[in-house]
Structure formats: structure tokens, C-alpha cells
A and B are shown apart, each in its own frame.
Chain A
Amino acid sequence: MSAPAVASLTCPQCGAAIELRTLDQALSVVCGSCGSILDARDPNLHVLQEFKARQKFEPQIPLGTRGTLKGEKWEAVGYQVRGIVVDGTTYCWDEYLLFNPYKGFRYLTQYDGHWNDVQVIKAAPDEHTSGGRPYILLHGETFKHFQTATAETYFVLGEFPWQVRVGDTAVTRDFVAPPRMLSEERTPEETTWSLGTYMPAAQIWSAFGLPGKPPHARGVYANQPDAYMPLAGSMAKRYLLFVAVIIALILLRLVTASRETVFATNSAFFRPGAPADSLAFVTPSFTVSGRTANLEVTTEAQVDNGWAYFEYALVNEATGTTYEFGREVSYYYGRDSDGNWSEGSRRDRAVLPSVPAGQYFLRVLPEAEVPTSFLEYRIVVRRDVPTLTPYLFCLALLALPPILVALRAWGMESARWKESDYAPSSDDDDDE
């Protein structure tokens, strides 16, 4: 034999049928038809308050709907719309009262598409202050004070284990440790604390079998978990691993690079003032062997307070493939009030990537502006020289995702606190 789960009553105001789902737990019940708030414990259901809400609201979870939350069955039995007024703007949220005769009561709150699963906690948690800002330690977690406000009840539907009235007010204080939120509600009669956990709307929709898709959540909610923060952390760790791998690759490269000299001129001179045609020359042919690798061209010019410019063309004798490039060598020095100074270098190094094996020669057109009439120079070509550039480029590229994610996390945190009592750019507070 099982006991009935509901009692059927009649509204004394309008005669509509009312179902009482929480039986003796209910203190007030709202007539779904005329909106009167009735004394659920009075056999005659006398009217505690006639309908006086300024606006009617429709719960997204219809009362009487049962759902399974975290493995437990719950029935929506009460619904209220409450709100706070900040700078003349009203911010409303929904509160659903859930009931299971074997588990008691539980709440769901909804604001702008953000849902919280809320349970009342029995004892007031210990409160501390740091830098004038209250915080709470609970189960080893630090809950930071988010907002203090006065919440007013705008609309009620269903039944409640307390005497609910439209127009009731309570001072609320919220403390957050995403995805959790501790809330205190104070009325002259009592103070209650509750612990909420952020819940994706899709989970509510599937738990209660609601039709369609949940509306998109807007903005960042006080205790919305930050998916980017832990992601940024794990990406940074992975990045350090990349750095280690790349350093190992660099070391390997330094050890295995052949650095074979395939061609070198002797020290030679040219007259910077001579016509360009007379200065151009081609080098003897030289052999580049082995697999395709880079080729380093080092230009050394003994410039003193002047510059030299070498226009190069590396030509493959067999295919005619030409690599053209220009290199400048400049070196200036002197002495001023700060002492000796120098700028530039007498040696320049150019690396041509991926040069296949073959017979090559260099076409060289030197040019210079120096105080001397002759300029001594030397050209050395080496095969397979280690360079850092591709590795550094790789490291910089790999750093981008963790940096972007860290920026997202930072952006989410500032969006979260923008809605709090601690908004950074608030113009009317923080002047104590």
C-alpha cells in the first residue's frame, strides 16, 4: 500500500482546483488560476495575499514536471521570480523549488540562461576579511564576496514550505568560487545559507525533458566555471614540453651539422670608386654535395666608418637556377661623451635554405663607400650550417594558442567581476 502523494483542494477565492504536492510541508500555496496566495495549513485555505504581482511570468520548467538531477528524482513544485535593482535597472531571476519526499527540497535558479543547482546548508560558514573584502572558507575552498543586494519577490506560483508573499524582501550576499556559489539570505526572522553549483542549461533541459533547446546564456555569470583557465594551465605545461623538445632538437642539430666549407676566396681588394661594370666578377665553380641542405655565405669586409654592399647571385651550372640576394656590411665607431661606441659588424652571414647538391658559382657585384681607396674583403661558402631561426619561429608559433587561451581566461574573469560590487571602472565607489 502506498500513501497518496498529492492532496486536492479548492481555491476559496475563485473555486479552481489546486493540487498540493508537498502536503504537510507546504505553508503557502498559490492558486494557479487567480494567483491568490493561500495558507496551505488552514483547512479553509484562507487568503494570505490576493494577486498583486505587476506582471505574470511563465516558468520554463512547468510545475509538476519531474526530472532526474544527478541521479535523483525531483519534482518542480514552486516557482518565484525575484529581482534586485542596481542603478535604477531591475535584474530578475527565476527560482524553482524542487521536492522529493525522500530527499526534501532543492532549488534551481536561472538568470539570463545561466542555471544553478542550489541546496540549503545547515550551519552558517565562517567568514573572514582580507583587504576589507569578505571571503568564506568552506570545505577548503575560498569563496570571494561578489555582491550584496536586496532581493524582492515579484511573482510566485506553486507551493512553498514558508510563507511566501509578493513584495517580500531579503538581503542577499553572494560569494563565489566557480563553479560554486555560497549565498546568504537575511530577513528579520532568519538567516539561511545555500550552496549553488553552476549547471549547463542543456543539462536542465535533458533532466526535465523540456522541449526544444535552452536559450543561449548571455554574459558571464558570477560562478560560471572558466573553461579557459585550466586549459591555459595545461597548455602552458604542454608548451614547456615543446620548449624542451625543441632545445633537444637544437642540440642535436648543433652536434650533427657538417659545416663543410665548399668555397672560399682569398683576401682580395677592390676599389670602391671604380665603375660598377669593372667590379663585377664570377667565382670559380665549386661543388655542393650531399642531401639538400642550407648554404651559408659569409661576407667579411674590412670597412672602417663606412659600408659595403655585395649583390650576389648563386647559379646552378646544370639547371641555371639562380638565387639572388644582397648583403650589406657596415661598421662605424668613434668616441663621444659616453666613451667608445661602435655600430654594425665587419662580418655578415646569409643562409640560403634548401640548396640541392650540384655545381655552382657565385656572381658578385661589390659596391662600397669607405674613407679608404681599397677595401679588403673575403667570401666563404659553407654547407649545412645550424641556424636557430626556424626553431625560434616554431617556438613563437606554438606559444600563440596558450597565449590566446590565457587572454580568453583573463577576459572571462574581468567580465565576471564587472557585474560584481568590485567592478574596476565603477565611478561611484572605491573612494574610501
Chain B
Amino acid sequence: MTARTAACPNCGATIEFRWSSAVQTVCPYCKAVLVRRDVDLEKVGMVGDLPPTSSPIQLGTEGRWQDDGFVVVGRIVYRYDRGGWNEWYLRTMRGESAWLSDAQGDLAISAPARQPGLLPAATHLRVGQWYVIDDTRFRVASLTRARYAGVEGELPFTTWDRDESLFADLDTEGSGDALRFATIDYSDDAPAAYVGEYVELEQLAARNLRRIEGW
């Protein structure tokens, strides 16, 4: 079993892990990007200060989705020419992964697809195409080439070696509660699909939200 705490090789501070199997974390004190090597942490780089965010989510925020509790353990900040969004990494009580994306106050939560089927190669992807993922018909709504603008907390992969990648946002026909969404992430060699839904903060029964002055 992996240790819940480790010392930062850069500044010596004690780093506590929320998720014992994290592959990468960022030292909250000196902003060193640390990657696990057996029992030790190796510094692979540094991150700059993230710009102040107005997101109500923060590391340690807890909530519930699909009868499972989750805690926010990491965050990736994506940027593209016409916007940006926060992608919060969630670990659930059942030991699963999920992502909570937060784009201009619009929240969407998703988990890895169980039956992703044959996903199209990045070069074949077009807006308007239909794909069946997890027995649901999804239409490609938009394609976004975004870069990694910052990270914090614990993540299931390393990001220091990543620069830019393609994301496809897909949604179903219909509206309101019937509307579901999917994302295909082309960061790795093999595309990875995530399926989920748009949510409101209240629906997640979120606790330990960031308190914002005056709100």
C-alpha cells in the first residue's frame, strides 16, 4: 500500500494525499510538480500561480453523483483561443474516477465510458457526426483544441509532458433532464470517451465549496 504522506523533494514540506494512488501531484507550498516513483516523489517541473478563479469548486470539495460520494482531488486548467475551463478530477467512494468540468459556471460531470465502441481518429472527426457510446447516440457538437494552462492537486496521469490536445464535445438529442453529454479526449495515443450529464451545483449536494468574498 502506498503512503498517505510524503515529503516534497523541492521544499521539504509534508504532502498529504487525498488519493493514495495519485500519479502526479503539485506541492501546494512551492508549486513543484511531483511524480511518484515507488515511495518517493520526483520533481519534474514547476507550475506558475494559477490565475484567480471564480469557480466555487476547490480541492477537497465533496459531493454525490449517481449514488456515489466523491471528493475533488485534482484540477487541470484548459485554455483555448475563445475561452477556457476547469476540469476537476474526482475520486469516488467506490474507487472510480470521474471528471467535473466547469466552463463559465456550466457544470458537467462524466465518467469513463463503459462501452466506448470504436472511437474515430482525431483526423476523421467532424461536427455533426453521430457515434454510439454506452448504448446512447451522441452527436459531435464542437471540437476544441485546448492547451494545459495549469494544474493543481492529484491526477491519475502526468501532465508535465503534455501541451495541447483535441477535445470533442458530444450531446444527445432532446433537452432538459433527457440531455446527456460525452467528451472524447485525444490527449493520449488512444482516444478516451467519457459519458455524463449537465448538472447544477445543488444536484451534487456539494460540500466544502470555496467561499467567495461577498457571496
Q: List chain A positions with a Cβ less than 8 A from chain B.
A: 1-5, 7, 22-25, 27, 41, 73, 99-105, 120-123, 125-126, 138-139, 161-163, 189-190
Contacts and interface: CB of A to CB of B under 8 A. Distances in A.
Interface string B197-215: 0100100000001111111
A3 B212 CA distance: 5
B211 A24 contact: no
Interface string B69-85: 00000000101001110
B11 interface: no
B54 A161 contact: no
A29 to B, nearest CB: 13
Contacts of B179: 122-123
A103 B142 CA distance: 23
Query: A-side binding surface: helix, strand, loop or mixed?
Result: loop
B115 interface: no
B171 interface: yes
A127 to B, nearest CB: 12
Contacts of B210: 2-3
Given A7-B52, A104-B105, A125 B175 contact: yes
Contacts of A24: 51-55, 77, 84
A103 B209 CA distance: 13
Contact of B56 (A102, A123, A161): A102
Pick the most buried of A7, A23, A162: most chain B CB atoms within 10 A of its CB: A23
Given A161-B83, A190-B142, A102 B209 contact: yes
Contacts of B55: 24, 101
B211 A1 contact: yes
B54 A22 contact: yes
B51 A2 contact: no
Contacts of B142: 190
Contacts of A100: 105, 215
A105 to B, nearest CB: 6
A3 B104 contact: no
A165 B104 CA distance: 19
Contact of A27 (B52, B53, B82, B173): B82
Given A7-B52, A25-B104, A162-B83, A139 B175 contact: yes
B124 to A, nearest CB: 22
B215 A27 contact: no
B79 A102 contact: no
A102 B104 contact: no
A22 B52 CA distance: 9
B81 to A, nearest CB: 8
Specify which of A1, A23, A99, A104 lies most central, judged by the most chain B CB atoms within 10 Å of its CB. A104
Nearest to A125: B175
Nearest to A161: B104
A258 to B, nearest CB: 68
6 nearest A-B pairs in the assembled complex, by CB-CB distance: A104-B105, A2-B211, A23-B54, A5-B213, A101-B54, A24-B53
A119 to B, nearest CB: 11
A189 B82 contact: yes
26 contacts: A2-B210, A2-B211, A2-B213, A3-B52, A3-B211, A5-B213, A5-B214, A5-B215, A23-B53, A24-B51, A24-B54, A24-B55, A27-B82, A27-B83, A99-B54, A100-B105, A101-B54, A102-B212, A105-B104, A120-B106, A122-B106, A122-B175, A123-B171, A125-B175, A139-B176, A189-B82
